[in-house]
Chain A
Amino acid sequence: MADDAPSSESLRDADLVGRLRAGDETAFRELVRGMHRALSRVALAFVREPSAAEEVVQETWVAVVAQIDRFEQRSSLRTWIGSILVNRAKTRAVRDKRSVPFSSLTSEDGEPVEPERFGSAGIWSVPPRRWDSAPESLALRKEAREAIERELARLPESQRTVVVLRDLEGWSSEEVCNVLGLSETNQRVLLHRGRMRLRAALERYHSGDGA
């Protein structure tokens, strides 16, 4: 019986969609603001140019408004909006002759952890440097966060997109795979590599090596 119960996410979606259909401006503005980082990141992964990505996001919202009455909740609202955006971004990328299938970006980067940190047997030869992550001052925490932010900006496009959606925006793996057209395995590989690079950046920051 419990399996048939709607998830809290689908209940939230149903409530939000109801408010949007009823013309609740506050709900729509919150949705636009709440999804902006995710949508602009996904758009950038396809069109590469920030100004083009912004236009794609803009067109997406207009399309969402036009189609909201047709949303049948067969996927999450995020997946539905993300799919509208991806269709538009792909069309735009083809028009701008920048078309790169997202799945082709998945082999952009090599080993998640520097291979030289392991001995030939596969045991750490240079183990992770430890640091005291107990109470830090707000200023130090901000510095560490900025090191992470810089590394995030340096990640290959595909890793950055998956890490932003999963770890910053809290999307599920299913939502990410559906919107980006990735297999579960590829999605996990990108997520793993991205997370390991963020860890390495934090390690460098704590070692004073800069990041």
Chain B
Amino acid sequence: MYLCRKAIGDMTEAEEGALSGWSRFWHRVHMTVCGHCRACRRQVTEARALAREIPPDPVPPDVEESAMRAFRARGKSM
């Protein structure tokens, strides 16, 4: 039987298109009928959306400066 624990375990593989044949079929069927697993999938989607909103750290000034110095030096040598 393809049950919740298996469906949750396969969630990322399903999304990545990595499930094959019967697994893909049973995963789809399970997600259609199981509200708890669908809720879990929605929550993963929500967590990912929130994660995307995390602002990136600024580049440390010395890293950016050294990169820009190298870039300008290359321009001069061309």
Contact = CB atoms under 8 A, between A and B. Distances in A.
Give chain A's interface secondary structure class.
helix
Contacts of A12: none
B39 A33 contact: no
Nearest to B44: A199
A146 to B, nearest CB: 9
Interface string B43-63: 110111011111011111011
Interface residues of B, number: 45
A58 interface: yes
Contact of A61 (B13, B37, B70): B70
A128 B11 CA distance: 15
B8 A195 contact: no
B6 interface: yes
Given A62-B70, A121-B3, A36 B50 contact: no
A113 B50 contact: no
Given A112-B8, A128-B43, A65 B13 contact: no
Interface stretch (A3-11, A24-32, A87-95): A24-32
Given A28-B71, A199-B40, A184 B18 contact: yes
B29 interface: no
Q: Determine the interface band of chain A, counting residues with CB < 8 A from chain B.
A: 35 or more
Interface in B24-78: 36-37, 39-40, 42-44, 46-48, 50-54, 56-60, 62-64, 66-68, 70-75, 78
Contacts of B66: 58, 61-62
B47 A32 contact: no
Contacts of B62: 54, 58
Given A124-B36, A145-B54, A57 B47 contact: no
Nearest to B76: A23
Interface of A: 23, 25, 28-29, 32-33, 36-37, 40, 54, 57-58, 61-62, 65-66, 68, 112-113, 118, 121-124, 127-128, 130, 133, 141, 144-145, 148-149, 152, 163, 167-168, 173, 184, 188, 191-192, 195-196, 198-199, 201-203
